[in-house]
Amino acid sequence: MTEHVPIRPICEPVELAPGATVIAERVVHGADAAETDPFPHYHDVCELVVFGQVGGHFVADDRRYPLSPGCIVSIPSMHQHDFALTAGARDWVLIQIDPAAGEELAQRPGLERLASPFCARPDPRLGARIATLAGWLADLGTTDPLVPGLVELLAAAAVRSPVIEGEAMPARNAGFERLRPAMERLRADPAHPPSIDEAASLCGLSVAYFSRRFGRQLGMSWGDYARTYRLHMAARRLLSGDSGIAEIAYGLGFATPSHFAASFHARFGVSPRAYRQAHRRRQEPEAVGR
């Protein structure tokens, strides 16, 4: 790993399907798999990675953690991270969680550790349970009603696992950290997204420099990011409560319900009402079965 050469982190967009708050997939590499190159990046989603066979290192927030079979990694939304895996057979289950759902999870009593990146190694008994939960998630559809409960159980097991102490590394993510104050303000009060002037001021940067840096780091403008974040928050609220569409629109700072509906349709390909109704139809057979 080259530690002294600055590497620009890349924001990889992760799109969850309409109605889904979780993506889970099983990844398997054969014995002929080559070692992986370091690739600093971050996502809007939160991640849990449950490893089977593995070797190498996990890097997050300028700390490096050794990876060994059976370990589990947790990465909150928008935290720079990186995996450098050794050659050979390896496998894992990757669970990616809607940022709003992930933040709610980290606020629950006993799960506060999820608010920061960590790497843990459970004992064999707990590790077997974690592997079972991860396998179930990988086998279920993204909108299966069992998924949220399984994710919470997996998160609870992860935070009970002994943490691996990471090795401090030279700081290399200052570029992204300079932008974090604006993003944190947006998350704290999405109904009143900062203007680009306000966002730049929060970060202690000129508007022109903030705009250039934000575009390089995240691949979109500040305005596009703020709008996209609020639309994903709206999608979450449409599925998790009974608030009216107009109430959701105004609660997230959209000027009118019609403007919200047009923006939502442009993002997700369906109207807010159709989005909510489709989710409820998927839940009905499960409710009848119970």
Identify whether the C-beta of residue 169 lies closer than 8 Å to the C-beta of residue 63: yes
pLDDT for res 232: 78
CATH 1.10.10.60 segments of the chain? 178-278
Q: Which CATH class is domain 10-168?
A: mainly beta
Q: Does the pLDDT of residue 286 top 50, yes or no? A: no
Model confidence over 258-281: pLDDT tens digits? Answer: 999 999 988 878 899 988 887 677
Its pTM stands at 0.68
Is pLDDT of 228 > 90? Answer: no
- Band of residue 168 on the pLDDT scale cut at 50, 70, 90: confident
Mean pLDDT of the chain: 84
Pick the CATH number of 178-278 from 3.40.50.300, 1.20.1740.10, 2.60.40.10, 1.10.10.60: 1.10.10.60
Task: Give the lowest-confidence range in 57-66, 170-179, 189-198.
Answer: 170-179
Q: 207, exposed or middle or buried, with CB in 10 Å at 0-12, 13-18, 19+?
A: middle
How much of the chain exceeds pLDDT 70, in percent? 85
Residues of the chain with CATH 2.60.120.280: 10-168
Query: DSSP assignment of the chain, as one string?
Result: ---SS----EE---PPPTT-SEEEEEEEE-TTPPPPPP--EE-SSEEEEEESS--EEEEETTEEEEE-TT-EEEE-TT--EEEEEPSS-EEEEEEEE-HHHHHHHHTSTT-GGGGS-EEE---HHHHHHHHHHHHHHHHS-TT-TTHHHHHHHHHHHHHHSPBPPPEE-----HHHHTTHHHHHHHHH-TTSPPPHHHHHHHTT--HHHHHHHHHHHHSS-HHHHHHHHHHHHHHHHHHHS---HHHHHHHTT-S-HHHHHHHHHHHHSS-HHHHHHHHHHHHHHHHHH-
Statement: residue 182 has pLDDT above 60:
yes
Q: Is the pLDDT of residue 162 over 70?
A: yes
Rounded CA-CA distance 82/97 in Å is 18
